[in-house]
Amino acid sequence: MLLSYFKNILFCLLLLFCTMSIAEEDRLIITGNNSRAPKIYLDEMQHPKGYLIELMNIITKEINLTAEYKLQNWPKAVEDANLGKYAIIGFSRSNERLKIFDFSEEPLYYDKIVVVTTKKNPLKFETYEDLKNKKIAALRGANYGYIFEKMLKENGFNYVETFSIESQLELLLQDKIDGFLIGPGAEGLNSAIMGAKNPEIQKRRNEFRILKKPFNLDPNYIAILKSRNQKPLLNKIDEALKKLKAEGKLSHIYGDK
């Protein structure tokens, strides 16, 4: 009897959680990466910053919402988005993600994903075949689009999962991997080096190099778990983004990126 009572209570709590909206009244609650400056990050005062944040603030104002941010490490951000707690930005499409997430149709931004290695490592990247049997690291929960997903499934490289960019930098300096993927371009690498807590990384920063050819140009979207039934909201975001672009109100964000 008591067990049945607690089961009913648990069911009600789960039902309440599942019916809570990510867009509560006039707020849109958004998660994302807390350490991808200048794209998206928390500053020293733990305030959300970056051009994705600025972009979302403009878009949400256009549709009469206020954006509230829960930026955190990327694996936790993806986990919370998978649970339907928040919308997520800086999110790449993939076949697996399309099964459980609704995405905006319009990309918020195109992320230049590059391969980072060291000057002493002979790694080259002219075609994807060049990465075959190479140890390439990426953040847990990261997905850099369809080509990345395809290479993972087909063992296009030896995938090394990490929990931070700093650990990838350390693994490179220790010759434990051949390279890792990062965006947006040189900005992302420089930000990671400057933000590293390990002094050895900054001391040896000149040992890193970015391969000339980008891994890909990865469109980033805003996405919400399908069970949240927020496709109408995503449609409004799409319409606002198109309108703002047409009016030239986002040129200061897109113009030099």
pLDDT digit string (tens) for 156-203? 999 999 999 999 999 999 999 999 999 999 999 999 999 999 999 999
pLDDT digits (tens, 9 = 90+) for 69-80: 999 999 999 999
In this predicted structure, the answer to whether residue 58 has a pLDDT above a threshold of 90 is yes
Percent helix, strand and coil across the chain, each to the nearest 5:
40, 25, 30
pLDDT of residue 24: 63
In this predicted structure, the answer to whether residue 10 has a pLDDT above a threshold of 60 is no
Percentage of the chain with pLDDT > 90? Answer: 84
- What is the rounded average pLDDT of the residues 213-234? 97
pTM value > 0.85? no
Give the separation between CA 81 and CA 71, rounded to whole angstroms. 12
pLDDT of residue 26: 87
- What is the rounded average pLDDT of the residues 64-90? 97
What does each C-alpha distance from 40 to 77, 154, 163, 193, 216 come to in angstroms? 13, 31, 17, 16, 19
DSSP type of residue 130: G
Strand partners, 136: 159, 179
Would you state the structure tokens that stand for residue 114, as one six-digit string? 């590059």
pLDDT band at 22 (very low <50, low <70, confident <90, very high): confident
pLDDT digits (tens, 9 = 90+) for 120-129: 999 999 999 9
pLDDT of residue 239: 98
Q: Which helix (H) or strand (E) holds 217?
A: strand 216-225
pLDDT band at 5 (very low <50, low <70, confident <90, very high): very low
pLDDT of residue 110: 93
pLDDT of residue 188: 92
- What is the rounded average pLDDT of the residues 134-157? 94
Exposure b/e, 51-73, CB count within 10 A at least 16 = b: bbbebbebbbebeebebebbbbb
pLDDT band at 23 (very low <50, low <70, confident <90, very high): low
Map out the domains of the chain with their CATH numbers. 15-110+219-254 (3.40.190.10), 111-217 (3.40.190.10)
Is residue 133 left, alpha or beta, with left meaning phi > 0 and alpha meaning psi from -120 to 50? Answer: left
